[in-house]
Amino acid sequence: ANSQHKATSFVETDLSNSNWQAVAAEQVSIIDSNLAFSQLTQAKFKNLSCINSNLSASRWQKSFVDQCSLVNSSLESADLSELAGFRLNLLECQLENMLLYNTALELPFFQKSNLAKRDFTQSGLIKPQFQECDLSYSNFKGMDLSQAGMMKALATGCDFTGAILNQANLIEAKLDKAIFNHCEMNMALLSKANLQQAFFHKVQATQAQFTECDATEAVFTASNLTYADFSHALVTKADFSDTQLYRTNLHGLLDPSTRWQGANRADALETDPVRQKAEQLASR
């Protein structure tokens, strides 16, 4: 490959086994093409767009990507280790066995991809966004996931033990049986999330939003829920023993058989009758 490509298009081209090592490519578009087994290492890609293409077993080590989008393409067994850059979008791509190790990718955006049972702990992803992805039983232990997004993700049984999830967006995520023990998740958004049988032991979750979540049989023991909002949450058989509930909003909480031993529930905000009346009128 040449060392420079600017505003170049490849359509229905066979580029398998091609060598792009150390190229500088800007505004290159690759459509319906084959780049299987290609070398894309130590290169710089800006505004690369790749659509309906085969990038399986391609190698990207030590390359830099800026605002690149790979759409409906295969990256099976591709190696993205030590790939750096900003806003890499992988939309509806096949990512089975793709290697993500020691990257420095900020705001990578994964959409509708199968990433189940992955170990992300050494991935190096910064503020990753996983929209409508399957992350079931994946490992995020001890990671800094501040401002990460998992909106509407399927994340059953994920392990977030000791992770930092400040301001993370987990709205409408399916997080049943997920483990958040010892997490720092201040101002995290978990509205309408499925948190059935999830573990939040010794969590720091001040100002976190749990509105309308389903936390049936979830465990919040010894957690700091100061100023958190549990309005209209379903917490049947959940365990809030020894939690800190200063100004925690429990408006409209559905809490049959919930455990509150050792919690300072008297310092929480109970159902607001004025708001309740307004909500009842609005729902007529």
Give one DSSP letter per residue of 150-209, joined into a string. -TT-B-TT-B-TT-B-TT-B-TT-B-TT-B-TT-B-TT-B-TT-B-TT-B-TT-B-TT-B
Give ∠ CA 86-92-94 in degrees, rounded to 5. Answer: 95
* Residue 1: both structure tokens together: 């490959």
> Is residue 173 within 8 Å of residue 193, measured between CB atoms?
yes
Each domain of the chain, given as residue ranges in start order, spans 1-113, 118-284
* Residue 166: both structure tokens together: 């400040």
How many residues comprise the chain? 284
Residue 1 pLDDT level (bands cut at 50, 70, 90) = very low
pTM above 0.75, yes or no: yes
For residue range 221-280, list pLDDT tens digits in order. Answer: 999 999 999 999 999 999 999 999 999 999 999 988 999 999 999 999 999 999 999 999
**pLDDT of residue 7 exceeding 90:** no
- Specify which residues 50 forms β-bridges with: 30, 70
pLDDT of residue 268: 96
> 118-284: what CATH class?
mainly beta
**pLDDT of residue 81 exceeding 50:** yes
Dist CA 102 CA 104 (whole Å) = 7
Q: Do domains 1-113 and 118-284 have the same CATH topology?
A: yes
At the topology level, CATH places domain 1-113 in: Pectate Lyase C-like (2.160.20)
Average pLDDT of the segment spanning 60-73: 97
Q: Which helix or strand (DSSP H or E) is residue 29 part of?
A: strand 29-31
Phi, psi of 263 (to 5 degrees): -90, 150
For residue range 103-128, list pLDDT tens digits in order. Answer: 999 999 999 999 999 999 999 999 99
Dist CA 206 CA 201 (whole Å) = 14
**pLDDT of residue 28 exceeding 50:** yes
**pLDDT of residue 5 exceeding 90:** no
For residue range 181-208, list pLDDT tens digits in order. Answer: 999 999 999 999 999 999 999 999 999 9
